[in-house]
Structure 1
Amino acid sequence: MSAFLRSLGVRHPLVQAPMSGSNTPALVAAVSAAGGLGSLGAGYLEPQALLDQAAEIRAATDQPFALNLFVLPDEVAIDEAQVEAIRRRLDALMASEGLAVRTGRPARWAPRFSDQLAALREVRPAVASFAFDVLGRAQVRELQASGIRVVGTGTSVAEARAWAERGADAVCVQGAEAGGHRGTFLHAAEDAMIGLFALVPLTVAALDIPVIAAGGIMNGRGMRAAELLGADASQLGTAFLACPESAAAAAWKRDLQQAQEHRIGTIYSFSGRAARGLRNRFVDAMQPFADELPPYPVLNALTAPLRRAAATAGRGDLLSEWCGQGASLVRPMPAAELVRVLMEEYAAAGCTVA
């Protein structure tokens, strides 16, 4: 049983991954109410939307939950020629695929992290988790002084150690199998594709803070295996994507069940940042232009209207279908039921459910 989560009043050693753009307040609340730690991925949310969604969670459950943010600079440097070139590529692709939507210039490329962090402090969730970089020591202390536990994301022992040195209460280690965006910040993404079941014991041996395992865990047996390797708890994301409370598009949910493991890989062409998901029609079509892609969050903002149009049209093959390596093991069921099944499997694998 997770001592870290138990100290928060969470009954199960289970964290629902903060999947920005595909989870909902309903999913977070359902997981927390069922005894896990629900997590709201707020990386794409403007401050008021973050406040509103946190209020929805609190209206649905009185149990602890987490908020997750992407640590990014407040201002983004733009290569205008690169932006215009990729816009032409994207518009041509959408035209050839029969979608009328075209790219545009957003008012902002991403929400200001400093404003998001201020909103998070106002919400005061039980846990604040972060990816893409580390906070400063003063920022960590300020959150902790407000009664918020801080969890960092690392894809290597060095990144996990960086969070520990900043005073984080725990670190979530993201194995190469994990779906969605990589949290890498000290290395090139391709240099930090470490398998979870090597990364967990290496990190546990190096640190004195709790380690949460993330990446490819789809059932209670996987949770038990991570625990045997020293993890304090397991974080599952893809496992919850097929739940009715998930905001994943219907085509995305359908494609997960049919996913072939050799067609799941690291993708840059939707967002400009390494992320694991299904290599579909969009990914294949953009591959010849890999050297032309602007970085995150610029490309992510440019493809956003295209992804929305693809979802509306039922075109999963043009969506960013993020998923972990075990995607085809998803089980479409309500989130609370999935938590119950996971914990039954966990118990059957030799652990006592508190």
Structure 2
Amino acid sequence: MLHNVTDLLKVKYPIIQAPMAGGVTTTRLVTEVSNAGGVGMIGAGYMSADQLRKQIGEVQQLTQHAFGVNLFVPNEFHVTEEEIVSANEELNQFRRTLQLPEKKTIDKPNFNDLYNTFLEQIDVVIKEKVPICSFTFGIPTTEVIDHLKQHDILLMGTATTVKEAIAIEKAGIDIIVVQGSEAGGHRGNFLQSNDESMVGLMSLIPQVVDNVGIPVIAAGGIMEGRGLMASLSLGAQGVQMGTAFLTCLESGANELHKDAILNAEEDQTVITRSFSGKWARGIQNEFISSMRANEHQLPAFPVQNSLTKDVRKASANQGKTDFMSLWAGQNATMAKRQTVRMLMESIIMEAKKLGFST
């Protein structure tokens, strides 16, 4: 039997705020979404266990409603010294522009360290009794899944293809978030290549729904009530929205990032791996254009992400969007500067006009 997703999530509305890592999902953003009847999500991909524990505590003080934590599933990565040196030399041109010191040595991320941090994050989720845990970039081990389920934590996985969705269901995860090619930020593909994972959301929803027996949540380019209703009509049971929440007043996104989205034009978002080594959708800028010719040779995530960190940070600090990762979905032009409550109310009001009922 296919369970109703609002019952599973214990929420009023089938709206999940996408877990945007890197400081966007402030305690205020998460709790405002949950208090407005949706699911607020902490994007914990880059957090230490202590940072995560602290934010969970803050969230629990400000909402009695359901919220969740999203974690990146660490993947083995293989990079050569040559790739790192080459990418670093290329980045030195941007460091000179930003008057940063050129980097000579690189602290390369270590898979074992990343995996140990992931396991520590899992322990925090369990100990702090977080009701919902979602995963991006893959499926955790059977041991991790079983451990979380023993503590009655609802699990969500991210899929970009039917094959990935089937694998998530087989692993025993409760809900699948299907990410269409329109989505902003990093692609969640893990079984198939980026090219194979670029299925548009309106094609992906029915394909996945017809092949799995667990609830499907739609993600990618959804900004308001029409997107919610379109997703529901194709068989999804809810939506996950990122860019719409990113420009909200409570979001921790840099104001330059918010302004770039609010002033974006329809054709400005592109897919790039130049910032992190993993394909992601963001607003075209000088950095993406300059790196385009060599982006296939760049080191894999998370190495390239570490290499570009100083450039991205300095660009933001200096008020220059030229070298920032301005993640945004394809419907960025529909974003508004508003409160979470205003956004939630407008989504529901519009959806009700189109026949939505709770």
Above 0.5 in TM-score? yes
- C-alpha separation in 1, matches of 2:204 and 2:101: 42
State the Cα distance separating 1:328 from its structure 2 match. Answer: 1.0
1:131-153: CA deviation from partner (whole Å, max 9, x where unpaired): 11112233222211101001010
1:119 paired to 2:129: no
- Quick one: structure 1 residues 107 and 295, their matched pair in 2 at CA, closer, same or farther if it must change by over 3 Å? closer
1:247-300: CA deviation from partner (whole Å, max 9, x where unpaired): 211111111122223221111000000101111111001112224310000011
Correspondence for 2:211 among 183, 201, 206 = 206
Tell me the SS of whatever aligns to 1:189: coil
Gaps of 5+ in 2: none
Q: How many residues align?
A: 350
Tell me the SS of whatever aligns to 1:39: strand
Tell me the SS of whatever aligns to 2:139: coil
Tell me the SS of whatever aligns to 1:316: coil
User: What is the match of residue 92 of structure 2?
Assistant: 91
- Quick one: structure 1 residues 47 and 32, their matched pair in 2 at CA, closer, same or farther if it must change by over 3 Å? same
Q: What is the letter of the counterpart of residue 148 of structure 1?
A: I
User: What is the match of residue 100 of structure 1?
Assistant: 100
Moved more, 244-253 or 205-214: 244-253
1:10 paired to 2:15: no
Matched ranges for 1:72-91 at <5 A: 72-73=74-75, 77-91=78-92
- C-alpha separation in 2, matches of 1:322 and 1:135: 25
Q: Is the Cα–Cα contact under 8 Å of residues 151 and 172 in structure 1 kept in the other structure?
A: yes
- C-alpha separation in 1, matches of 2:27 and 2:248: 13
Task: Give 4+ residue runs of structure 1 displaced > 6 Å after superposition.
Answer: none
Q: What is the letter of the counterpart of residue 125 of structure 1?
A: V
Q: What is the letter of the counterpart of residue 250 of structure 1?
A: E
User: What is the match of residue 30 of structure 1?
Assistant: 32
State the Cα distance separating 1:115 from its structure 2 match. Answer: 2.3
Moved more, 43-52 or 116-125: 116-125
Q: What is the letter of the counterpart of residue 218 of structure 1?
A: M
- C-alpha separation in 1, matches of 2:36 and 2:253: 21
Gaps of 5+ in 1: none
- C-alpha separation in 1, matches of 2:151 and 2:44: 19
Q: Is the Cα–Cα contact under 8 Å of residues 78 and 300 in structure 2 kept in the other structure?
A: no
State the Cα distance separating 1:17 from its structure 2 match. Answer: 0.3
- C-alpha separation in 2, matches of 1:222 and 1:314: 33
- Quick one: structure 1 residues 254 and 101, their matched pair in 2 at CA, closer, same or farther if it must change by over 3 Å? farther
- C-alpha separation in 2, matches of 1:46 and 1:106: 17
Tell me the SS of whatever aligns to 1:221: helix
Tell me the SS of whatever aligns to 2:140: coil
- C-alpha separation in 1, matches of 2:211 and 2:202: 15
1:188-226: CA deviation from partner (whole Å, max 9, x where unpaired): 111110010111011111111000000000101110110
Identity of aligned residues (%): 36
Moved more, 219-228 or 249-258: 249-258
User: What is the match of residue 331 of structure 2?
Assistant: 326
State the Cα distance separating 1:121 from its structure 2 match. Answer: 2.2
1:294-348: CA deviation from partner (whole Å, max 9, x where unpaired): 0000011111121111111111221100111000110111112211111111111
State the Cα distance separating 1:101 from its structure 2 match. Answer: 5.5
Tell me the SS of whatever aligns to 1:243: coil
Tell me the SS of whatever aligns to 1:260: coil
Q: What is the letter of the counterpart of residue 67 of structure 1?
A: V
TM-score by length of 1: 0.94
Q: What is the letter of the counterpart of residue 297 of structure 1?
A: P
1:67 paired to 2:69: yes
State the Cα distance separating 1:98 from its structure 2 match. Answer: 3.3
RMSD over equivalenced CA pairs, Å: 1.7
User: What is the match of residue 292 of structure 2?
Assistant: 287
User: What is the match of residue 264 of structure 2?
Assistant: 259
- C-alpha separation in 2, matches of 1:77 and 1:281: 28
